[in-house]
């Protein structure tokens, strides 16, 4: 059957060629009629079924068909593409004439310059694939030898004829299902034999193609004139140059296009970046608006509610107080220079007609001290006082001792003309306003502080601050009697801005209260009033060249700003710190309330003194005043304290009463002729204050105290500590004729119920 298929392929080839040359349609008609009558028009019915099994080979041939047809047309145009001419030159195998339609088409498609064996590799591979597929076809006949295979592959019909015959057969009868050649090859031995057969076939075909190429080249050289060859070469070279130019032009176009594309991409990227930045900016703005707008609305709502509840704040400080942010105010306060090399002067007033033995220590007069401070003032003088009566007109009398007060008032009136700002904070209400009114006319600022409505007490402070560099604190009121008719003790500190600035903050509290119209205390004091010194953090300065630790205290606790030590705590700490002695000089000493409807026991200071005298065996000497306004109850308490010195307790405590002598004329002066001093000195510390020692002065009444500690400081020749100076003053008074030990007769003599100074 295989041999018949081979013969049928040859006869079919001849029949198709005859039909092409004659171009008649009669034979086709006869063939169709004979096929309808049951007569076979061709001898290849079985060959069509075998072609159906070779679908893979046919598909490869179809892919090669356009290329072969185009190259065949090129050969016809040159006049050298006749199939008959090629067949006359090809070698003959056996008795048959061999034709390679596909191969011949590929060979003649190239010019003479490009003819080579390498250019023929593609048709060889395609033909080889067709040849190698023969042994695996449908009938599985025995393998033929190499010569038969080669002869069969050379006598196979062209791909075009094979496809046409396949299409005709498919139209006349159904095709058999193709079988997958990969699934038919199952034996490894058969695969190895196929590989060997393919290699041999490739080698023989390459030799045959090389021979054909050589003969074809010789034939072309003989038949084609040299002029035609030269023209062809020129055309080829021109074509190459044209290709090069086209390539260059295309490269230039590509480069220009690439530049344009790069520029366009750059522009696009810039536009994208701009869009991105714009979008990001828009998003950022929207996010900021989303976050900030609600916050602003909340702040406005909260501020509106705050104004509804508390009213409009008068200043930033007032607002800070209302918002309880007063402590922040201290952060932006200007840092002023702080001088710590200070000159301290203890000062006193000795009533007229009272003299101490010669050689007794004495201090600078308060009149001289105040006058000196006013003369040194350059910018400001701030005074906190209980009242202001510097002229004797307050009592309707003319007393020569009032002259010093009048001179002092004239100095105060002249401050504004010198460019010095005078501020005075006094207790309200004032019973005598003549002096304050005259000072107001000269430009002084006067504020009355009605502390009774706020705390139930009075402004009993006696404090001066000059240029925030100098200060005074002591027992003397702004009264002409304090200069000549009352015994006073105070202290002046000059060129000591560290301490003066702290004193200025205490004055600021009174000045702030004087501006209040609703008579109320703020819930928190502004940071600008916070203490610069305290018992925990005293200032380190030098008083007359001797190092000292110093701080200011104030009363009552309601007026003590942040960090400020209250006055009672300062007194108790000085008592507890004493090791050897405690000397106290005060006008009133009363361990109970004094100006309240209900009497309350107040043993704070009294218990501290008893503990020091009885438990620690510290010498306690208490000097109180005896005058027409002394409280009878005070002397009973003093007797209970002095009795502790008796056996078996033998506590080291002693009490004396100091009385200032007076004439009949001096006795007519009200609130005069009394020891008004309020100080305490121990073996370690000095305390100088403005308050009497009873409950109301520390719980309701405004007062100030100065604590100086120079313990352990090196004292050079010609120097002395504040403690040493004040100790001598106390012992002078204690040992003088004006001081007497407390007895029952003295209690009866001094017991008078009059309002104290």
Q: Which domains does the chain have, with CATH numbers?
A: 2-178+186-243 (no CATH), 326-750 (3.30.870.10)
At residue 295 the predicted structure's pLDDT band, cuts being 50, 70 and 90, is: confident
Beta strands 380-385 and 463-466, pairing class? antiparallel
Q: Tens digits of per-residue pLDDT, 359-410?
A: 999 999 999 999 999 999 999 999 999 999 999 988 887 889 999 999 999 9
Q: To which H or E segment does residue 398 belong?
A: none
At residue 265 the predicted structure's pLDDT band, cuts being 50, 70 and 90, is: low
- pLDDT of res. 252: 61
**pTM for the whole structure:** 0.61
- pLDDT of res. 73: 43
Q: Which residue has the tokens 């007794």?
A: 360
Buried b (16+ CB within 10 A) or exposed e, 306-331: eeeeeeebeeebbbbbbeeebeebee
Collapse the DSSP code of 334 into the 3-class scheme (helix H, G, I; strand E, B; otherwise coil) and give the result.
Answer: coil
At residue 78 the predicted structure's pLDDT band, cuts being 50, 70 and 90, is: very low
Least confident range from 293-307, 531-545, 596-610: namely 293-307
Whose CA is closest to 146, among 199, 87, 209, 208?
199
**Relative orientation angle of helices 55-78 and 101-108, to the nearest 10 degrees:** 40
| Cβ atoms of 703 and 567 closer than 8 Å | yes
Q: Tens digits of per-residue pLDDT, 483-493?
A: 999 999 999 99
The pLDDT of 262-280, averaged and rounded, is 71
What is the radius of gyration, based on Cα positions, of the chain?
A: 66
Residues annotated catalytic, as ranges:
460, 462, 467, 676, 678, 683
Q: What is the mean pLDDT of the chain?
A: 76
DSSP secondary structure of 126-168: HHHHHHHTGGGSTT-PPPP-HHHHHHHHHTSPPHHHHHHHHHH
Tell me the residue length of the chain. 757
Give whichever of 49-53, 194-198, 296-300 has the largest mean pLDDT: 296-300
- pLDDT of res. 422: 98
Provide φ and ψ at 489, rounded to 5°: -135, 135
Q: Which residue has the higher pLDDT, 279 or 473?
A: 473
- pLDDT of res. 110: 41
Q: Which residue has the higher pLDDT, 718 or 195?
A: 718
| Cβ atoms of 683 and 578 closer than 8 Å | yes
Measured CA distances, 147 to 93, 138, 204, 205, 394 (Å): 9, 21, 10, 12, 159
- pLDDT of res. 597: 81
Q: Tens digits of per-residue pLDDT, 208-222?
A: 777 776 776 666 566
Measured CA distances, 121 to 110, 116, 126, 206, 680 (Å): 13, 10, 9, 9, 129
Upstream peptide bond of 429 is cis (omega within 30 degrees of 0): yes
Other C-beta atoms closer than 10 Å to the C-beta of 146 total 12
**Relative orientation angle of helices 101-108 and 121-132, to the nearest 10 degrees:** 170
Provide φ and ψ at 526, rounded to 5°: -60, 155
pLDDT at 627 over 70: yes
Question: If you ran DSSP here, which 8-state letter would residue 279 be given?
Answer: H
Q: Residue 582 CA to chain centroid, in angstroms?
A: 57
- pLDDT of res. 124: 38
Beta strands 421-427 and 445-449, pairing class? parallel
3-state secondary structure 629-671: CCCHHHHHHHHHHHHHHCCCCCCCEEEEEECCCCCHHHHCCCC
| Cβ atoms of 126 and 146 closer than 8 Å | no
Q: Which residues pair with 551 in a beta bridge?
A: 707
Least confident range from 104-113, 386-395, 612-621: namely 104-113
Whose CA is closest to 44, among 81, 7, 93?
7
| Cβ atoms of 342 and 496 closer than 8 Å | yes
Distance CA 645, CA 656 (A): 13
- pLDDT of res. 264: 67
Collapse the DSSP code of 314 into the 3-class scheme (helix H, G, I; strand E, B; otherwise coil) and give the result.
Answer: coil
Residue 702: which residues within 8 A CB-CB, separation 6 or more? 384, 449, 451, 455, 457, 458, 459, 460, 461, 510, 554, 555, 556, 559
At residue 696 the predicted structure's pLDDT band, cuts being 50, 70 and 90, is: very high
- pLDDT of res. 314: 64
The pLDDT of 634-650, averaged and rounded, is 94
Give whichever of 105-109, 267-271, 302-306, 447-451 has the largest mean pLDDT: 447-451
At residue 628 the predicted structure's pLDDT band, cuts being 50, 70 and 90, is: confident
Distance CA 611, CA 589 (A): 17
Buried b (16+ CB within 10 A) or exposed e, 731-743: ebbbebebbbebe
Question: If you ran DSSP here, which 8-state letter would residue 175 be given?
Answer: P
Give whichever of 2-11, 179-188, 210-219, 510-519 has the largest mean pLDDT: 510-519
Residue 593: which residues within 8 A CB-CB, separation 6 or more? 599, 600, 602, 694, 695, 696
Measured CA distances, 187 to 131, 182, 190, 722 (Å): 20, 11, 5, 127
Residue 376's Cβ-count burial label (10 Å; 0-12, 13-18, 19+) is middle
Q: How far apart are the first and last CA of the chain?
A: 155
At residue 249 the predicted structure's pLDDT band, cuts being 50, 70 and 90, is: low
Q: Which residue has the tokens 């502790």?
A: 644
- pLDDT of res. 510: 96
């Amino acid at each position: 059957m295989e041999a018949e298929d081979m013969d049928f392929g040859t006869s079919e080839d001849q029949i198709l060629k005859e039909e092409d040359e004659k171009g008649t349609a009669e034979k086709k008609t006869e063939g169709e009629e004979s096929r309808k009558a049951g007569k076979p028009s061709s001898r290849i019915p079985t060959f069509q079924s075998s072609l159906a099994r070779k679908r893979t080979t046919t598909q490869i041939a179809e892919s090669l068909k356009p290329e072969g047809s185009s190259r065949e047309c090129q050969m016809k145009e040159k006049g050298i593409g006749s199939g008959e001419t090629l067949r006359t030159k090809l070698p003959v195998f056996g008795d048959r004439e061999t034709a390679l339609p596909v191969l011949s088409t590929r060979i003649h498609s190239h010019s003479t310059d490009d003819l080579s064996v390498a250019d023929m590799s593609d048709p060889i591979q395609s033909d080889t694939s067709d040849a190698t597929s023969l042994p695996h076809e449908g009938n599985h006949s025995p393998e033929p030898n190499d010569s038969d295979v080669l002869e069969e592959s050379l006598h196979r019909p062209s791909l075009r004829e094979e496809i046409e015959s396949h299409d005709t057969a498919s139209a006349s009868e159904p095709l058999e299902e193709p079988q997958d050649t990969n699934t038919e090859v199952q034996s490894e031995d058969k695969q190895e034999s196929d590989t060997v057969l393919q290699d041999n076939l490739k080698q023989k075909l390459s030799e045959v193609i090389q021979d054909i190429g050589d003969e074809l080249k010789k034939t072309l050289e003989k038949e084609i004139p040299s002029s035609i060859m030269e023209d062809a070469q020129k055309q080829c070279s021109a074509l190459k140059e044209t290709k090069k130019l086209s390539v260059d032009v295309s490269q230039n176009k590509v480069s220009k296009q690439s530049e344009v594309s790069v520029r366009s991409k750059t522009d696009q990227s810039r536009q994208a970046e701009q869009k991105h930045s714009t979008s990001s900016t828009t998003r950022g703005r929207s996010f900021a608006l989303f976050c900030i707008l609600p916050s602003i609305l909340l702040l406005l709502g909260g501020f509106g509610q705050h104004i509804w509840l508390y009213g409009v704040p008068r200043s930033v400080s007032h607002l800070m107080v209302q918002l309880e942010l007063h402590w922040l105010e201290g952060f932006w306060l200007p840092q002023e220079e702080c001088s710590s090399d200070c000159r301290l002067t203890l000062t006193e007033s000795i009533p007229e007609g009272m003299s101490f033995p010669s050689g007794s220590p004495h201090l600078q007069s308060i009149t001289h001290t105040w006058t000196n401070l006013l003369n040194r003032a350059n910018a400001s003088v701030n005074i906190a006082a209980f009242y202001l009566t510097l002229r004797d007109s307050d009592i309707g009398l003319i007393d020569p001792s009032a002259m010093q007060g009048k001179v002092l008032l004239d100095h105060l009136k002249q401050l504004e003309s010198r460019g010095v700002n005078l501020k005075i904070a006094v207790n309200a209400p004032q019973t005598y306003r003549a002096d304050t009114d005259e000072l107001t006319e000269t430009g002084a600022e006067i504020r009355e502080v009605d502390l009774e409505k706020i705390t139930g007490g009075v402004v009993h402070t006696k404090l001066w601050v000059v240029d925030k560099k100098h200060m005074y604190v002591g027992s003397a009121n702004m009264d002409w009697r304090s200069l000549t008719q009352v015994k006073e003790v105070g202290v002046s500190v000059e060129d000591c801005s560290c301490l003066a600035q702290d004193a200025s903050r205490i004055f600021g509290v009174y000045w702030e209260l004087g501006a209040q119209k609703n008579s109320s205390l703020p819930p928190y004091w502004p940071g600008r009033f916070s203490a610069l010194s305290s018992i925990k953090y005293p200032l380190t300065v030098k008083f007359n060249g001797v190092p000292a630790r110093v701080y200011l205290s104030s009363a009552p606790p309601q007026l003590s700003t942040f960090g400020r030590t209250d006055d009672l705590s300062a007194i108790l700490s000085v008592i507890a710190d004493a090791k050897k002695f405690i000397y106290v000089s005060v006008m009133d000493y009363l361990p109970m309330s004094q100006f309240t409807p209900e009497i309350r026991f107040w043993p704070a200071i009294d218990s501290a003194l008893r503990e020091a005298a009885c438990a620690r065996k510290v010498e306690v000497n208490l000097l109180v005043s005896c005058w027409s306004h002394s409280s009878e109850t005070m002397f009973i308490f003093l007797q209970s304290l002095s009795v502790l010195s008796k056996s078996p307790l033998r506590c080291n405590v002693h009490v004396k009463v100091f009385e200032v002598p007076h004439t009949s004329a001096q006795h007519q002066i009200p609130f005069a002729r009394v020891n008004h001093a309020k100080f305490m000195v121990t073996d370690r510390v000095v305390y100088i204050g403005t308050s009497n020692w009873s409950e109301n002065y520390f719980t309701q009444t405004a007062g100030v105290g100065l604590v100086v500690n120079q313990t352990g400081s090196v004292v050079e020749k010609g120097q002395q500590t504040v403690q040493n100076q004040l100790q001598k003053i106390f012992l002078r008074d204690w040992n003088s004729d004006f001081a007497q030990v407390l007895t029952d007769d003295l209690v009866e003599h001094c017991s008078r119920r009059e309002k104290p100074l």
